[in-house]
Structure 1
Amino acid sequence: MLLAALLVGGCPAQAQQAAPVPRDTSFTVHSAYVKAKKQHPTITVARPPVPRHVRTASNLTYCALAGGRELKLDVFYPRAKRRQTFPAVLIVHGGGWRSGDRAQHVPLAQQLAARGYVAVTAEYRLSTEAPYPAAVQDLKTALRWLRAHACPYAIDTTKVAVWGFSAGGQLATLVGTTNDDPLFEAGTCYRSHNSRVQAIVDADGTLAFIHPESGEGDDRKGPSAATLWFGASKTDRPDLWQQAAPLNHVSAHTPPILFINSGVARMHAGRDDMRRQLDAFGIYSEVQQFPEAPHPFVLFNPWFEPTVAYTVNFLNRVFGR
């Protein structure tokens, strides 16, 4: 039963560490660069200098799972003056729900911290380890951890955003459109704190799986990334595929959303339908697009700096900074 794969709290010292699941390394910054460079020979990997005054707390455990498996995150934060607090951003990596790594967005996290945000890069269980909805539950747990640790990092817990790229964009938007939904809250880690977010940034993440614009779920050459994540094809379990679509969770309580998109249309399937729903509720949304860019544009120059700028400008607007 899928929902049985819930997070459990507890002291990791009391249990043996679970054997690590072999990682799928098919999506890395290097592999994405080699592929994108064929069509965009002038691109470079975005590795800007580490900004001054940005502090880092690395490899922190945000929850221990059954069997001693520990979920990790990193925090990048500005130096605070007395009684000063900062909005926070949880950053979610992509990789088809199966690959990828939180370290891919360290440059983004550092740049956000330099601009007055506490940026958190968190791992989550991939489909090689646990099927949907485990990844969503993990990320909501990371948000609860963030609020529980607001004091040491000077976090303003009323101003929390989630940012995601590709599969991470889908996850970020699902996390943000399901505030307070008990289906996606699991385990005992920091349950006295909430996982709500007040803003969403979706960089090329699909908003709908069963949709005319969607390219997810083509299993003709083998199980697709989404099929592997859901543990069933969209023909066999359309209910799960619909349930995981952020488009199907829009309500009057949905936070403002920024969509940052490449020129690959299928990567933002359902975006325009979602914006129409947001408009009907009077919820602010914004689209910024790089029509010439490949899908993993957020990792490369010349698109990295504009992506940072769009993100910061949007969050400043939403949070009244």
Structure 2
Amino acid sequence: MKFLPLIFIFFFTAGHAQKIQPDTSFSVYSTYIKEKKKRPYISIAQPLTKGNFKTTSNIFYANTPTGNLSLDVVYPKHSKHLLPAVLFVFGGGWRSGNRSQNIPLAQKMAQNGYVAITTDYRLSTHAQFPAAVFDLKNTIRWIKANAKKFNIDTNKIIITGFSAGGQLAALVGTTNNDEQFEKEKINRHSSTVQAVIDVDGVLAFDHPESSEVSTDPNRKSVAAIWLGSELKDNPDLWHNASALNHANQHTVPMLFINSSTPRFHAGRDDLIAKVKPFGIYTEVHTLLDTPHPFWLFNPWLEQVSSLMINFLDQQFKNQAAVQLK
């Protein structure tokens, strides 16, 4: 099998290169080794080496107090129409992972008539909530500022995330025009999105189904590290970081793709019930007998990409995206 490259992250502060060792608490390969013992048929979903798409990599989009942030754009080779854009948010407990994890799915999107963007955001190793939310909203602003270059329809921006990235995607999508999250702007463009795809990301931290509170008094949970406080010490903070508590009549259509483990979709059903009276479209697919990071592996990559594309085609059926195969 092929091994994924080891990625080192460099940040620049005060004009000097500062190497921050990546947190490796989550990696695709270590998860593969663990899950293969239970499911010997799985394999890591690898990026395509060629296809009907182009890739522009390592584009700087923002400077933060802890360094530069970059993104990659994967887009169809040929299109005469403006296309929807899909922003991918990787997972890893808000402290680990990297944007390369989503390249295989981004390539699937590009081959089906969507522009896909994989992005960096600040992790809890060097910035706490809501820094990551500011970064993702700035990525959306960058997308809109560079729409002409990549043939993007700025009225059709979708954010999708996985695990911790799913939590972030849902929070971004339920806080359109919320001033408390509209800080550190890199330009004057709007950060609004028109749809959300949440893949196994929690919708509420302070929820009976959630297990984000550590049961070990000597050990903080990854959520507490990212939020900078335990739930008992600052419940309002945990409440504010939960998409469920921001959902209202302005919430955009949402697709949920889940494993069968309830804790990874804590608050989902409550959110759906909350927006249903407003006629907001939601869709749920639960993939049985799947490991939590199923989207990173075969045989589930094709199923996840198909569910995403079907949802997006339905929501943006008036757009002229033609499948490019």
Report if aligned partners of 1:80, 1:154 keep a CA contact under 8 Å in 2.
no
Say which is worse superposed, 73-82 or 253-262, in terms of deviation: 73-82
Q: Distance in 1 between matches of 2:101 and 2:241?
A: 24
Q: Tell me the equivalent position of 1:74.
A: 72
Q: Secondary structure at the match of 1:19?
A: strand
2: CA distance, partners of 1:51 / 1:245: 39
Q: Equivalent of 2:306, from 309, 313, 320? A: 309
Report deviation, 1:53.
2.4
The residue that corresponds to 1:235 in the other structure is 232
Structure 1 equivalent of residue 28 of structure 2: 29
Q: Is the 8 A contact 1:51 1:111 kept in 2?
A: no
How many Å separate the matches in 1 of 2:148 and 2:18? 33
Preserved CA contact (<8 Å) 1:93 1:168: yes
Of the three residues 108, 115, 129, the one matched with 2:126 is 129
Match of 1:8 in 2: none
Q: CA deviation at 1:17?
A: 4.4
Q: Residue by residue, what CA displacement relative to the aligned partner does 1:35-83 show, whole Å, maximum 9, x if unpaired?
A: 221221211111263452211110011111236x11110000112444x
Alpha carbons of structure 1 residues 129 and 48: separation in structure 2 relative to 1, 3 Å:
closer
Question: CA separation of 1:35/1:58 partners in 2, compared to 1, >3 Å: closer, same or farther?
Answer: same
- Look up the match of 2:82: 85
Aligned-residue offset at 1:13: 11
1:59 aligns with 2:65: no
For the structure 1 residues 138 and 31, does the alpha-carbon distance in structure 2 shift closer, same or farther, using more than 3 Å as the test? Answer: same
Q: 1:246 to 1:87 in 2, by over 3 A?
A: same
Structure-2 change in CA distance of 1:81 and 1:295 (3 Å) = closer
Q: What is residue 211 of structure 1 aligned with on the other side?
A: 207
Query: 1:49 maps to what in 2?
Result: 48
- How many residues of Structure 1 are paired with residues of Structure 2 in the alignment? 307
- Name the counterpart of 1:9: none
The aligned amino acid for 1:94 is G
Give a deviation string over 1:75-129, Cα, whole Å, max 9, x none. 00112444x2110000000000010111011101111111111100001000000
Within 5 A, what are the aligned runs for 1:247-286? 247-286=244-283
Q: Is the 8 A contact 2:205 2:238 kept in 1?
A: yes
Structure 2 residue identity aligned to 1:70 = N
Cα separation, partners in 2 of 1:232 and 1:261, compared to 1, 3 Å = same
Question: Equivalent pairs: percent with the same residue?
Answer: 50
Give the match's secondary structure for 2:84.
Answer: strand
* Aligned-partner SS, 1:26: coil
CA distance in 2, matches of 1:17, 1:115: 42
Unaligned runs of 5+ in 2: 1-10, 320-325
Match of 2:8 in 1: none
Q: Tell me by how many angstroms 1:153 deviates.
A: 0.3
Residue 147 of structure 2 corresponds to residue 150 of structure 1:
yes
What displacement does 1:249 show? 0.6
Q: Report the Cα distance in structure 2 between the residues aligned to 1:94 and 1:108, rounded to whole angstroms.
A: 14
The 8 Å contact of residues 47 and 107 in structure 2, kept in 1 or not, is answered as: no
Q: Is the 8 A contact 1:50 1:110 kept in 2?
A: no
- The one-letter amino acid of 1:140's match is K
For residue 296 of structure 1, what is the aligned residue in structure 2?
A: 293
Letter of the aligned partner of 2:90 in structure 1? Answer: H
After superposition, the C-alpha distances for 1:278-312 in whole angstroms (9 at most, x for unaligned) are 21111000001111101010001111100000000
Structure-2 separation of matches of 1:150 and 1:77 = 12
Amino acid aligned to 2:24: T
Greater mean deviation of Cα atoms: 126-135 or 72-81: 72-81
Secondary structure in structure 2 of the residue aligned to 1:41: coil
Q: What is the SS of the residue equivalent to 1:211?
A: coil
Asked if the contact 1:51/1:110 (under 8 Å) is kept, the reply is: no
Query: Amino acid of the residue matched to residue 77 of structure 1?
Result: Y
Superimposed CA distance per residue, residues 257-286 of structure 1 (whole angstroms, 9 cap, x where no aligned partner): 000001111100011111111211110000
- In the alignment, structure 1 segments of 5+ residues that lack a partner are 1-11
* Distance (Å, rounded) in 2 between the aligned partners of 1:274 and 1:224: 24
Cα-to-partner distance string for 1:147-167 (whole Å, 9 max, x where unaligned)? 000011000000000000000
Indicate if the aligned counterparts of 1:101 and 1:123 stay in contact, CA closer than 8 A: yes
Question: Runs in 1 of length 4+ with deviation above 4 angstroms?
Answer: 12-15
Is contact 1:166–1:205 with CA below 8 Å preserved after alignment?
yes
TM-score, scaled relative to structure 2? 0.91
